[in-house]
Amino acid sequence: MAVSVSAEVTARYRRACDYLALAMIYLRDNVSLAEPLTSAHLKPRVLGHWGTCPGLNLVYAGLNGLVRRTGQRTLLVIGPGHGAPAIHANLWLEGSHADRDEALRQDGAGMLELVRRFSWPGGFPSHLSPQVPGVIHEGGELGYALATAAGAVLDNPDLMAACVVGDGEAETGPTAGSWQSSKFLDPTTDGIVLPILHLNGAKISSPTVFSAMPDEDLRDYFSGAGWSPILVRAAGAGAADDQALGDALQVAHREITARRAEHPVGGRPDRVKPPMIVLRSPKGMGAPERAPDGTPIAGTFHAHQVPLEEVHSDPAQLRALEDWLRSYRPEELFDSDGRPWPDLLEVPPNGDLRLGSVPEANGGALRRPLPLPPVADHQVKVSEHGATQASAMQTAGGWLAELVRGTEASRNFRIVCPDELASNKLDAVLSATDRVFTWPLEQYAEDVAPGGRVMEVLSEHLCQGWLQGYVLTGRHGLFPCYEAFAAIVDSMANQYAKFLTMARWVPWRAPVSAFTYLLTSDGWRQEHNGYSHQGPGFLSNLLTKRPEVTRVYLPPDANTVLLVLADALAATGRINLIVAGKQPGPQWLDLDSAREHWRRGAGVWEWAGHRDDPEDGAPDLVLACAGTTPTVETLAAAELLREHAPELRVRVTNVVDLRALSATDRYPGGLSEQAFDTCFGGPDTPVVFGFHGYPSDVHELLHGRPEPNRFHVHGYLEEGTTTTPYVLLSCNRMTRHDLAADAVRRVRGADDRIARRLETDRDNLVAYAHREGRDAEEITGWKWAG
């Protein structure tokens, strides 16, 4: 273990970091101030956020000291992501940047390269990103840092995640939920989360709530949330600030480790409140007190972004910037060749203990494949198409239970769920593990214990953050959720998809396990819960993301669900979305047929068509479907056409992988032109498509295919209420009768007597449901005739 350094040296180190951070925001040249500063030395666009940088440097330096003294492996999760210049400065001084890119070596050329790259085309973004060593959370994703930190330490008892929460971020709902994470962490099997709430008083232009709270209120608030706050006040006083924060970090770590040592293995602790740190510091410490025009800067919201914005055009501001830069006395920090003085290099720890080089920050390198159970052991036996009834989720639940048992020793698989595991008929998992909750419980509860592998909490944000932290540090997981409420994490999924996209471009980042959503309780069977529960929009959101990092699957039955789920949990570097029903329904494919269908992504169901002979030219029309309920309605429509228009040649095509619809120049995994024609006929063949989600999703995917206007998509039209399943379908023109009537009109044009008869039958069935309060037997008892 390295010897600790003095607070005075730490303050010098921090002064170097502040200088480098400021240089990154403003400079493109003359980065050591070897000559007087001119406008030619400035970046043409001055971008970045100064206000949080000094506080982040104070925290980073303090954690360096803690790690040197204790050897505690520490992952730093940073909520204020626009404080990236501070993190880059520390990574350069500790050598983590140079380890991955020799151009960022610790000399004058490396310093120039570091400063130039920040907020520069082709360089580093203005916020943290996957290009930055040590990062698993971009920051700026307001509210998600603390949940991500908690997920990172699950099943990793040797790791501490220090999480900086900005005071603007602290106002968000996701952060409010995240303070409850400590009640789910096991002192024996999980690591340490150390929140550091950084209060510097202001957001972009207004005060923050928590900064306005007096110390006693802060203590009460966080004590009530389950923490023991340690308050630290920095005043810009150099080594005194480093000493104060260093002492607080030492006390917090000592208290945590002492409690962990006393905790009985497998026992339930008392309501222990772990320490956290509340750090108050002036906004933008070190900035000028005032701008040349008298505007106050240091300690105010004017320090939040770029305090001196007119440096290109205002000579007084340029002089003020030079004075500000020189106030850090760079000549005392770097030698004539731009190398940091040796005492500064003694501040960070060494090797993998550096905050930018902790192995968990590149979790793909730690990842080990899951021991996936054989799908065949859990298959549904299907001898005749549609004759067997089964719940896809109950089937998947049995397979997942076996997976949980198989990972009990490695403890590298978890399920996070917003209090819906049993409701989604996945409760077979609870035969293999419990729901985790570590605090004492006074009320009656079932399947709840410390050490459980299922994390249930009624917060989609918290589930998302936990699983992101878990997956990004090398493990695996699954996020089952009601379909309608997955949209709560739309913005988190957006940011995570972008993180994965950028990570693909970083050569030293190893791919992490896929992040898999399993959405059930889908909108088509939420007629009893009503309009608020009827929404497939999360699917639409993910389809807007780059196809190489997102997959959207709509398996039609249990065997296909098993195959999709196994593939999703084996994959890396992407987000999987699986949408499937939970209610018992007809099973269409035996395992071998399901495997071939899944492999292709879409395929013709020859057994479901009518007079469709591929050797005899194109069919008159194609009935296509994607999704559990649309598949049932489409096959029922095929039967109606067989009855009412037996002369028509009808082909039935089912789609599992939605992106298979895309042209190959948009998505290399899309159906080839030949396969697409096989599934959907030639350019003159009308296609009536029963789709699970919004029709526009399919039309977008078909862009670039020949004659996409021949596709007539039925899907969710944002119509719903509390009603019966058939009436809900009718509201959205998605019943078997609507599909069949549309198909007849596409082929026969104005001769629509059959179509009108089908629509009359539909209206009669709707009237029956309104009269009787239930769907008619011909709907509820329908079976595929074969």
| CB atoms closer than 10 angstroms to residue 750 | 5
Which residues make Cβ contacts (< 8 Å) with residue 404, sequence separation at least 6? 413, 415, 429, 432, 433, 453
Backbone angles phi, psi at 680, to 5 degrees: -120, 10
Q: Is residue 571 part of a domain?
A: yes
Q: Are residues 274 and 414 in the same domain?
A: no
Please check whether residues 339 and 407 belong to one and the same domain.
no
Contact 695, 624 (CB under 8 A): no
Residue 275, classed as helix, strand or coil, is strand
Please tell me what DSSP assigns to residue 431: G
**DSSP 8-state class, residue 216:** H
How many alpha carbons fall within 13 Å on the CB side of residue 140?
Answer: 18
Contact between 625 and 653 (Cβ < 8 Å): yes
- What is each CA distance from 487 to 59, 464, 695, in whole angstroms? 35, 11, 18
99 within domain boundaries: yes
* CB distance 620 to 650 below 8 Å: yes
Q: Which of 357, 390, 412 is the last residue of a domain?
A: 357
**Residue 752 has what pLDDT?**
86
Indicate if 398 and 329 belong to the same structural domain.
Answer: no
**At a CB cut-off of 8 Å and minimum separation 6, what does 5 contact?**
65, 68, 343, 346, 347
C-alpha closest to that of 226 among 437, 447, 76: 437
Model pLDDT, residue 1: 46
Q: Rounded to whole angstroms, how far apart are CA atoms 46 and 428?
A: 56
Per-residue pLDDT of 456-500, as tens digits, reads 999 999 999 999 999 999 999 999 999 999 999 999 999 999 999
Strands 650-655 and 602-604 turn out to be antiparallel
Q: Is-contact 690 642, C-beta < 8 A?
A: no
SS3 category, 325:
helix
Distance of CA 595 to the CA centre of its chain: 29
Is residue 523 assigned to a domain?
A: yes
- Owner of token pair 């699986």: 578
Q: If we measure between CA atoms, which residue out of 54, 68, 56 comes closest to residue 15?
A: 54
* 568 lies in the same domain as 614: no
With the CA atoms of 111, 117, 123 and 127 taken in that order, what torsion angle do they form, in degrees rounded to the nearest 10? 100
Same structural domain, 507 and 394? yes
What's the pLDDT at 5? 87
Same domain, 129 and 199: yes
Distance of CA 563 to the CA centre of its chain: 23
Q: Indicate which CATH number applies to the domain containing 727.
A: 3.40.50.920
**The total number of structural domains that make up the chain:** 3
* 721 within a domain of the structure (yes/no): yes
User: Is 362 in a helix, a strand, or coil?
Assistant: helix
Half-sphere exposure of 123 (CA within 13 A, CB side): 21
* Contacts of 550 by beta carbon, 8 Å cutoff, 6+ apart: 497, 542, 543, 574, 575, 576, 577
User: Residue 1 carries which DSSP code?
Assistant: -
Same domain, 140 and 288: yes
Q: Give the integer Cα–Cα distance in Å for 544 and 498.
A: 11
| d(C-alpha 389, C-alpha 784), whole Å | 11
Q: Which residues lie closer than 8 Å to 466 by C-beta, 6 or more apart?
A: 147, 148, 150, 151, 154, 181, 414, 416, 455
Q: For residue 108, what is the domain's CATH number?
A: 3.40.50.970
Interatomic CA distance for residues 63 and 69, integer angstroms: 10
180 belongs to a structural domain: yes
* Contact of 689 with 708, CB cutoff 8 Å: no
Q: What pLDDT is attached to residue 269?
A: 66
Smallest Cα–Cα separation from 634: which of 748, 532, 712?
712
When computed from its CA atoms, the radius of gyration of the chain, rounded to whole angstroms, is 30
Percent of the chain that is helix, strand, coil (3-state, to 5): 45, 15, 40
Which residues make Cβ contacts (< 8 Å) with residue 705, sequence separation at least 6? 661, 663, 676
Task: State whether 539 and 635 are in the same domain.
Answer: no
Helices (H), ranges, 528-672: 537-543, 558-570, 591-600, 628-644
Q: Indicate if 382 and 269 belong to the same structural domain.
A: no
| 3 state SS of 651 | strand
Extract the residue ranges of the chain whose pLDDT is less than 70.
1-3, 266-269, 614-615, 750
Question: How many CA atoms, within 13 angstroms, populate the side-chain half-sphere of residue 379?
Answer: 18
The number of residues making up the chain comes to 786
CA distances from 123 to 99, 132, 141, 433 (A): 17, 11, 21, 46
Q: Is residue 591 part of a domain?
A: no
Residue 611 in domain: yes
Q: CA 372 from chain center: how many Å?
A: 23
3-state secondary structure 684-743: CCCEEEEECCCHHHHHHHCCCCCCHHHEEEECCCCCCCCCCHHHHHHHCCCCHHHHHHHH
Q: Torsions phi, psi of 616, nearest 5?
A: -110, 30
Q: What is the widest separation between alpha-carbon atoms in the chain?
A: 91
Sign of the dihedral defined by the CA atoms of residues 108, 109, 110, 111, in that order: positive
Q: Name the E strands within 200-357.
A: 228-233, 275-280
List the domain range (segments joined by +) for residue 712.
604-780
Q: Where are the beta strands (DSSP E) in 459-584?
A: 476-482, 515-520, 550-553, 575-579
Pick the closest to residue 642 from 623, 662, 617, 616 (CA basis): 623
Q: Which amino acid is at 111?
A: M
257 & 194 share domain: yes
- CA distances 557 to 154, 345, 578, 588, Å, are 34, 60, 12, 6
Residue among 359, 357, 343, 352 at smallest CA distance from 3: 343
- Contacts of 375 by beta carbon, 8 Å cutoff, 6+ apart: 399, 559, 562, 563, 566, 591
- Residue 134: CB partners within 8 Å, gap ≥ 6? 75, 76, 87, 91, 96, 354, 355, 356, 357, 358, 361
Rounded-to-integer distance, Cα 374 and Cα 443, Å: 39
Tell me, yes or no, whether 56 and 182 share the same domain: yes
Cβ contact 376:525 at 8 Å: no
Judged by phi (left if over 0) then psi (alpha if -120 to 50, else beta), residue 164 lies in beta
Q: Are strands 388-390 and 585-587 parallel, antiparallel or unpaired?
A: antiparallel
Question: CB atoms < 10 A from the CB of 14, how many?
Answer: 29
| pLDDT for residue 749 | 72
Distance CA 187, CA 266 (A): 9
The confidence score (pLDDT) of residue 267 equals: 66
> Is residue 759 in a domain?
yes
CA separation for the pair 352, 643 (Å, rounded): 71
Q: Do residues 164 and 223 both lie within one domain?
A: yes
